[in-house]
Structures are given as C-alpha cells and as structure tokens.
Structure 1
Amino acid sequence: MTDTLTDRQTDRQADTVTLESLLRSSTELLAAAGVDSPRADAELLAAHVLGVSRGEVVAWAIAGRRLDPLQSVDLRRLSISRATRTPLQYLTGTTTFRSVELQVGHGVFLPRPETELVAGAAIDAARAVRPGPGEQDGHPLVVDLCTGSGAIAAAVATEVPGAMVHAVEADPEAAWWAAANLDPRGVALHVGDAATALPDLDGRADVVVSNPPYVPDGRIPTQAEARRDPGLALYGGGADGMRLPTVVAATAARLLRPGGTLVMEHDDTQGELVAGLLRRGGLFSDVQTQEDLNGRPRYTIAARTDGTMAR
C-alpha cells in the first residue's frame, strides 16, 4: 500500500516541472525572438498565469516551486504568442498608466510612457483651476480628445478629485475598451468625431488634452509591437501627419474658455508645426513645446486667448 502511494506521488511529480525551468525556457525563446526584456516578460507572463505578483514569481522560482500541467501549458502558450511580438499587455489584458491600471487588448492603442507626461501636464493644469465668482470649490472641466483606451482621462479623474471629465473616441472598438476603463471612474465617454464633439461644452472647458493620431503617412513603426497598434490610432493624415492634430487644435479652441489650457502630444518632428498652428489666428498664446524623457520635443502646451474663432 505504501509503495503504491509513493508511486502515485512520484507519477504526479513527474507530470510537473519547476517554475524556474519554465522561466529559463521562456526567456530563451523570447530572447531569440528579439524581445527587449525576455526574463522580465517571462516573469510577468508567469505572474498572469499564476495570479500573483512578479515578486512572488521570483521568490517561488528560487524556492523550486513546481507548476501543474495546465499552468505549464498556459505559460508556454503565452510565451509563444509573445515570441511572435504580440504585445505583453495584450496577453495579460492590463497595463499600468501613472496611477491607474487599465484593461487593454487587441483593437486599442497601448499608452506609452511619454504620454504619462502629457497626462501629468493636463493634471497640473486642472489642479490649478480656481473657483469662479460665488463658488466655494473649483470643479475643473476636462476634455480628452481621441481618448483611445481612456488612459489620460482615467488618470485625470483619479488624480484630480472632483474634476468633471469627458472623453471622446471615434473608433467603436477602442471605445469598448475606453468604456471598461472610464465608466467605473465616472468619466463621460462620447463615441464620435473629435471635429464635432461636445458642442454643448463650447467655451466652457478648463483643459483640453489629446494624444491624437499623428504618425506621418508612410512611416512604419520600427518596433514590432507598435505595428500591432490599430492604424486608426497611429496615422494623423498627410505626409506630415498633421491633419488630425489640426482638427484637435480647432476643437480645443472651440471648447476652451479664455485662459483654458490645451495639452497635445505630437511626433518629435512636429514641434514647430504644432507651435505654428497654435499661434496662427491669435486663438492661443504662451505656446510651449515640451520634451519627453529622452529630450525629444513630444508635446505642446498653450493657453486659449479671448480671441474669436472665424465662422
């Protein structure tokens, strides 16, 4: 009887493999595929499969933790998908952006680290809004145009308590993900064209922020993962990519109150184009191009003047 029990335990252990051995094989696979951070990605995929943190995965690997056959198959399957350069976030279903965790997947643009700076500038501008005459508390009105996954709007709603946040997205597939991220945070999502969005808010917004499509036509992203992003979220229109940024600037001029702030991300080749666009017509002043963490001109901040838009 004892021998039979021992044999069963031995058979069960033979069906398992150590977490560390799976992490090593996954790391080798991802490295061969050219993934930038193969060990980190392997650990994050394991954390997703096991429902624990990456730190626990590291500790379990050191301790010799074994995985059952189903867990092993799941990790191998995800590692193979990652080796095809499917973005890690698509496989785990989540990504972190500033203070928020977002749901993401196929069909939505993945927020980048540089966009966290754009969101930060919008948050600072919203926090600086002061109560109007007769008001005790300021409740800044913020509009996020071309919201995509809802990353910027979600960060603003989380980090500026009391802010009234509206988000606009034209692509129904991206809007599905935006709804999942914004509805729980009390952000009003509007599915529609940024050019005609929110006429009821004309002249009332304190802050308009946008990370619009801006990649020039014909420029193919160099990173394999970036080529999985939907084209609607990438290409701004025209050889210079400025068609949609121009639309966003016009809508911002319509929505913002005098003194309100526009924050717009753009390509690092478009700094002077965006600045010139905003200075034309006298609708914006104090136009400032800002650099990302790599010292590249990546977003512009401007203040709405009290000038009148041409009709």
Structure 2
Amino acid sequence: MSTPAATVHEAVTRARLAFADAGIASPDTDALELAAFALGRDAADVRRAMVLREPVDAAFSARFDGLVEERVARVPLQHLTGRAHFRRLTLAVGPGVFVPRPETEVVAGLAIEAVRAAGEEPLVVDLCTGSGAIALALKDEVPLARVLAVELSDLAHGWAVANRDRTGLDVDVRLGDATTAFEDLEGEVDVVVSNPPYIPDGAVPNDPEVRDHDPEVALYGRSADGLAVPLAVAARAAVLLREGGVLVMEHADSQGGTLPRALRLTGAWDDVVDHADLTGRPRATVARRSGAPAGPATSRP
C-alpha cells in the first residue's frame, strides 16, 4: 500500500485483497474491523462510509496501513484492536490470553441452554475460563444464574477480571487450578462448562495466529491424544456437579469420538452427546452427571 488510499472504500478493498492473498480466512470481516478500529467508529458506520466513498486523511491512511501490514504478518486481529466480539459482548484481549473463537460461541450457547433448563437460580462454574468469555456470556444471557470461573494463568486471570469489571457482570473470577477448584461447591453445581487445553502434544496448530500468539498453557492437552487435561477437568466437574447436573466441554474436531467415549468409560456420565459447530465439525460434548458417586478429583497432569 505505497500510495495512500483516497476513500474508505478503497482502503478497505485494498486491505481485503491483501488479507485474501495472505491466506487469512476472513478477509472481509478483518478489513472492516480494522477500518472501524482505525476510524474509531462501528462497522455499520464504516459500511456507510464505503458506500458514500467518504475520503480519508493522511493520519488514517498511515495508521490503517500499519495495522494491515501487521495483520498480513498474521498478528491476530484481536491483538491489533485489543478486543474480541463474543456473542453479545465485546471483550478485552491481548498477549497472555487465548483469543475466544467463533466456534466457542456454540459451546457457550449449549451451556446457556443447560443453565436455562436447570431452574430459576442455577449455580454455574466455568473451568479454564481464559478471558472470561463463556462465563460472562452466561451471566449476560441468564442474569439470575450464579456464575463462578477459575483460571490457572495469572495473565489470563487478569484479562478475565478486567472483562468482568468492564462489563459489570457479577461473575466470581478466581485464580487457581481447574482440577482442584471450588472445594466449597462440591456436589452442588448445576452446570459446568469448560474450554480446556486440548491440542495433542506434538501437534502444531495450522493458523499462525494460534501457533505464534496464543499461550501454550491454553493450547496443549498434555498427552498424545490431547485428552489428559480435558479428562482431568471432567473428573473435577464430576465432583462439583449434583446428580443430573450437566457438563459442556469444548474439544478439537478430531476428538468428537474419543472424548465422549472416554467420558462414558468413567461411569460418571449419562446421556453423553457430541455436538457440531456451525461449520459442521465436532466441537462440544454435553454429558449428564450420573447418580454414581464421583471418584477422587484428578490432579492436573
């Protein structure tokens, strides 16, 4: 982009083409979001400015072109803008925290369905909360729920607390190990939701945004199949949940058979069902706590 763009339409179009050439999966969305960020306006305003061929000044061009260059280099969009849109919320994100993905919105939706079915004032726990995305979405969409969340990383915990404070949503966000958390709630929780680390050890994420920028502690499941951490978290969920309580857990698309199978083998779960995301890929397992006594909590691998 050596020659400055003359209009918003031209700037966004150039960015979209550059992103498509770089192999970025959502060039249109990313170009629009960066323009909105650079202009300090919302996406709808940017679309209107594009239609009207609104001119841009040198200050915008310099800022926007710099952002486009970084995005072409596969710096995550959310790290450039400092924000991630998740269901009805806009969250602060950046280095040190896993950026919530669109597929996780489906996981949050499954948890919200389970919470709404659990009663008037359900007790909900989010294990491995990261930025707080799922926990905050739950509280936002089911205001009468009591929602608690825990995160192992102090950096990610800081982002979750900041998001809780920014949104004003009443979520109890704790720093700690998901596999031992909430001793005061054992056997009382209605719904546990988790997006744990689940990438198999030795696997390299395809997307540079994930591989080079997301924290490893949020990615790897600490076993060849990636299930060591998820199963340890599920074991804790079995202790926390009341009989008939529901677990909702995100997983890799390659684990749509292995995670449900592993949960069934523990004897702690009934009605184990896997669900696809909006792209049709296996994404989340929903299971109901059986009446059998829970075994001892499993420590983090």
How many residue pairs get aligned? The number is 290
Q: Find the aligned partners of 1:267 and 1:41 in 2 and give their Cα distance.
A: 24
The reply on whether 1:71 has 2:95 as its aligned counterpart is no
User: Following the alignment from structure 1 to structure 2, what is the Cα–Cα distance between the partners of residues 91 and 163?
Assistant: 33
Equivalent in the alignment of 2:191: 207
RMSD over aligned Cα atoms: 1.9
Aligned to 2:299: none
How many angstroms does 1:36 deviate by?
3.1
- Tell me if 1:258 matches 2:243: yes
Task: Confirm whether residue 107 of structure 1 aligns to residue 92 of structure 2.
Answer: no
Contact map agreement 1:118 1:263 (CA 8 A) in 2: yes
What is the CA–CA distance in structure 2 between the aligned matches of 1:61 and 1:282, rounded to whole Å?
58
Asked if 1:229 is matched to 2:214, the reply is: yes
Residue from 198, 204, 215 that aligns with 2:182: 198
The structure-2 alpha-carbon separation of the partners of 1:294 and 1:26, relative to structure 1 and needing over 3 Å to count, comes to closer
Aligned counterparts of 1:117 and 1:55: Cα–Cα separation in 2: 24
Q: In structure 2, what is the Cα distance between the partners aligned to 1:299 and 1:24?
A: 36
Structure 2 residue 270 is the aligned partner of structure 1 residue 285: yes
What is residue 185 of structure 1 aligned with on the other side?
169
299 and 31 in structure 1: CA distance in 2 versus 1, 3 angstrom threshold? closer
Deviation at 1:18, TM superposition (A): 3.1
Of 38-47 and 89-98, more deviation after overlay is shown by 38-47
| Offset at residue 42 of structure 1 (A) | 2.3
CA deviation string 1:105-136 (max 9, x = no partner): 12211112221121111111111123xxxxxx
SS in 1 for 2:192: strand
Distance 2:145 2:172 in 1: 11
Amino acid paired to 2:278: L
Shift of 1:16: 9.2
Q: Which moved more, 1:286-295 or 1:258-267?
A: 286-295
AA at the equivalent of 1:76: D
Which of residues 220, 226, 246 in structure 1 aligns to 2:204?
220
Shift of residue 33, structure 1, vs aligned partner: 2.4
Report the equivalent of 1:309: 294
Give distance in 2, aligned partners of 1:124 and 1:104.
Answer: 26
Deviations 1:5-50 (A, max 9, x none): xxxxxxxxxx994333433443343333232343442222111111
Give how far 1:92 is off.
1.3
SS where residue 269 of structure 1 aligns?
A: helix
Partner residue, 2:132:
150
Kept in 2: contact 1:153–1:182 (CA 8 A): no
Rg (Cα) greater in structure: 1
Structure 1: distance between partners of 2:132 and 2:96: 13
Structure 1 unaligned segments of length 5 or more: list them: 1-14, 131-137
C-alpha contact 2:5 2:11 (8 A) present in aligned 1: no
Identity of aligned residues (%): 49
Quick one: structure 1 residues 39 and 160, their matched pair in 2 at CA, closer, same or farther if it must change by over 3 Å? closer
Q: Which runs of 5+ in 2 are unaligned?
A: 297-301
Contact 2:188 2:240 in 1 (8 A): yes
Quick one: distance in 2 between partners of 1:271 and 1:21? 43
Q: Residue 27 of structure 2: which of 17, 27, 38 is its match? A: 38
Aligned to 2:144: 162
Shift of 1:158: 0.6
When normalised by structure 2's length, the TM-score is: 0.90
Provide the secondary structure at the position in 1 that maps to 2:257: helix
After superposition, what is the alpha-carbon deviation per residue over 1:287-311, rounded to whole angstroms, capped at 9, x for unaligned?
1122222333221111112211235
> In structure 2, how many angstroms separate the alpha carbons of the residues matched to 1:190 and 1:246?
21
What CA deviation, in whole Å up to 9, does each residue of 1:84-109 have, x standing for no partner? 11111111111211122211112211
Inter-partner Cα distance in structure 2 for 1:139 and 1:196: 24
CA distance in 2, matches of 1:54, 1:62: 13
